[in-house]
Amino acid sequence: MKSIKLMLLGWLLCLSPVWAAGVVRVGINASYAPFESVDDHGRLSGFDIDVVTAWAKTQGVTVKLVNLPWPQLLGALSDGRVDMVVSAVADTPERRARFELSQPYHYEPQVLLVPAHGGKDDVRAIDGIGVLIDSSAIGWLRRLRVPDAALRRYNGLPPMLADLKAGDLQGAFGDLHVLRRASAGDPSLRLVSRPDFGQDAYVFVVRKGDRALLTQANQGLARMTADGTLKRLHQSWPGL
């Protein structure tokens, strides 16, 4: 009996502190449909929200969504305002050095959005490409030998798209499903897709050193992959 109690105590100590409260505070940026957005009824909605909610059920906890501007998300994780970030965050070497990253739960191609008339397909020929601050798009464009001076950094998607439509940008570079949705039904814009643009691997992000929560994240995602939950969630969001 004593050995069983010691085993249970050891197991409890291995769990992340968030398990004591039974609630995981998850940072999102709800201006990035179809992954995170506010629906017509004022509710937070999106593929990432469905994924993290399903993951929480595998772990017997509940999720408290914390909606923050994109530039503040990882800072909120570092200073303890949230326990985890699940918000179309890609695995990059820079993030891996600062945080713990889970196994991927989604792969997202990168694309270029340009004016339908006169827009250039070659990213190296464009002077004025919009990207989100601290996004993986910057790394992909550097690999394509696009100089930093050609990039225009934005705090969020809406102002970047507004400048593109107004002619203040020659292109916007980022996630396929986001830019496709944002430009749907707009004949003034077109998407350019090429294999060398790259593909993001979306991950759960937790604080550096929180190996317990990282383990729970990976265990839950592995279970969701094995039982088909992730596949069903992809199918429930057309095009993903």
53's CB contacts (< 8 A; 6+ apart) are: 63
| Residues 116, 184 within the same domain | yes
pLDDT of residue 9: 42
Q: Assign residue 91 the CATH number of its domain.
A: 3.40.190.10
List the pLDDT tens digit at each of the 240 positions of the chain. 545 444 444 444 455 556 556 899 999 999 999 999 999 999 999 999 999 999 999 999 999 999 999 999 999 999 999 999 999 999 999 999 999 999 999 999 999 999 999 999 999 999 999 999 999 999 999 999 999 999 999 998 999 999 999 999 999 999 999 999 999 999 999 999 999 999 999 999 999 999 999 999 999 999 999 999 999 999 999 878
Alpha carbon 113 to its chain centroid, in Å, reads 19
| Residues 7, 20 within the same domain | yes
For the purposes of burial, counting CB atoms within 10 Å of the CB of 203, is it exposed (0-12), middle (13-18) or buried (19 or more)?
A: buried
| Residues 88, 119 within the same domain | no
pLDDT of residue 238: 83
Domain span including residue 178: 108-199
- Please report, to the nearest 10 degrees, the dihedral formed by the alpha carbons of residues 188, 111, 153, 121 taken in order: -60
pLDDT of residue 13: 46
| Residues 167, 139 within the same domain | yes
Count of domains for the chain: 2
According to DSSP, the residues that pair with 99 across neighbouring strands are 207
pLDDT of residue 10: 46
pLDDT of residue 109: 97
Give this prediction's pTM. Answer: 0.89
pLDDT of residue 231: 97
| Residues 218, 187 within the same domain | no
According to DSSP, the residues that pair with 174 across neighbouring strands are 111
